[in-house]
Amino acid sequence: MRLVVLVPDLVTDGPWKTGVDLLGRVTERMPWLTRVAPVQTALRKTLVSPRLYTDVAWGGTLNNMRHCALARSLGADAVLASPSGKDTYGRFNIVDLPFIRWADRRADDVVLVPDFVSELVDEVQGPVIAYMQVPIHLRADFDYRSPRVHIWTDSPFMLERCRKVFPGKEIPIVPNIVDDETFPFVPQAEREPVVMAFPRKGPEYIAATEAEYARLGGSHFRFDRIDGIPLFELADRMKKPQVFLASAEVEGCALPPQECMAAGIVVVGKSARGANFSMEHGKTAMIAETPQDAARCLRELEDFELRDRISRAGHQFISRYFPSGEPTVFWRRTLTELGFPLNG
């Protein structure tokens, strides 16, 4: 009996990436194509799914890797599965876990399938978990009413969405895993006047906030845009900024703000329609839905005492999601219910 967590293959260079990029563009423009029976059969035999090849180590995937590692640390035989069965993540990998090919799963495996390939749920013979992390991937394209199918999600915002798509199904909110060893707390007094931002999410919001902050006479903070680097390099960069600008309009598991809270960075920005539930304005973070609001918050945060207070409150709040907290409680209960033997 194993826990098998499905993750995509990471393809970052070479001719294979060119082919994957082309296939991705085709399926994005013509999504109906993958639903044509002969095409679907051919894709399943060769690629499993075009969406299981990516050039981005997505936060949701890394979160699933952490969940798998935590389950293994508790005594479960837990492995990662991918189309190739190989660790294609290299320096982007954050866990030390064995990989198997998706085709090599067994009938008695408990399988976790991520939301972006939820159509694969019906291919699993035994217990299967469909983990719904992102609203754009919510699709009732599998037999969710089956008693062998479990549905998980990761925030009150996502739970509300899931209840509409999967009516009548019991859906627990699974705690994200915020790695306090990778993101150790660094107090504001030891940080630099930098606002960290991810331009992959909401670049217009970031640019408008920076311009409005300058217009209001702000000069304390400078902006640092970060994109496309491995998690451990990102964690090193996160030891310096005083503020993180949360710019995403919509989030699923919303890990970056939570990791920033763990590290002692003050989070300013969008609530992502409620997905950033860890943000409580003026207490654990500063909510700013518009660039004008964000710029005003930054002016307020030029005050060290305010930054220090919010950073410590945010760290205290998010500590519940450190591996030894709610995630361990959740996985001990879940593995016991599934029949896995545990350490101790």
Mean per-residue pLDDT, 49-63: 88
Q: pTM for this structure?
A: 0.86
**Which of 231, 272, 339 has its CA nearest to residue 133?**
272
Structure tokens at 206: 């970031």
Please state, rounded to an integer, the average pLDDT across all residues of the chain: 90
Name which of 57, 58, 59, 39 is nearest 49 in CA terms: 39
pLDDT-wise least confident of 44-53, 110-119, 229-238: 44-53
pLDDT of the residue at 23: 67
Percent with pLDDT over 70 in the chain: 88
Q: Report the run of H or E that residue 100 belongs to, with start and end.
A: strand 99-101
User: What are the distances in angstroms from CA 85 to CA 44, 56, 88, 121, 264?
Assistant: 15, 18, 9, 18, 37
Rounded to whole angstroms, how far apart are CA atoms 200 and 80? 27
pLDDT digits (tens, 9 = 90+) for 184-243: 999 999 999 999 999 988 899 999 999 999 999 999 999 999 987 888 899 999 999 999
Report whether 193 contacts 143 (CB < 8 A). Answer: no
Q: In whole angstroms, give the CA distance from residue 35 to residue 39.
A: 7
pLDDT of residue 39: 55
Sign of CA dihedral 160, 164, 168, 169: negative
State pLDDT tens for residues 251-310.
Answer: 766 788 999 999 999 999 998 766 577 889 999 999 999 999 999 999 999 999 999 999
Q: How far apart are CA 96 and CA 110, in angstroms?
A: 20
**What integer pLDDT is reported at residue 203 of this predicted model?**
94
**Of 18-32, 92-106, 145-159, 217-231, the least confident:** 18-32
Do the beta carbons of residue 244 and residue 257 sit within 8 Å?
yes
Angle at 149 between CA 23 and CA 3, to 5 degrees: 80
Structural domains present in the chain: 3-14+21-177+332-338 (3.40.50), 188-321 (3.40.50.2000)
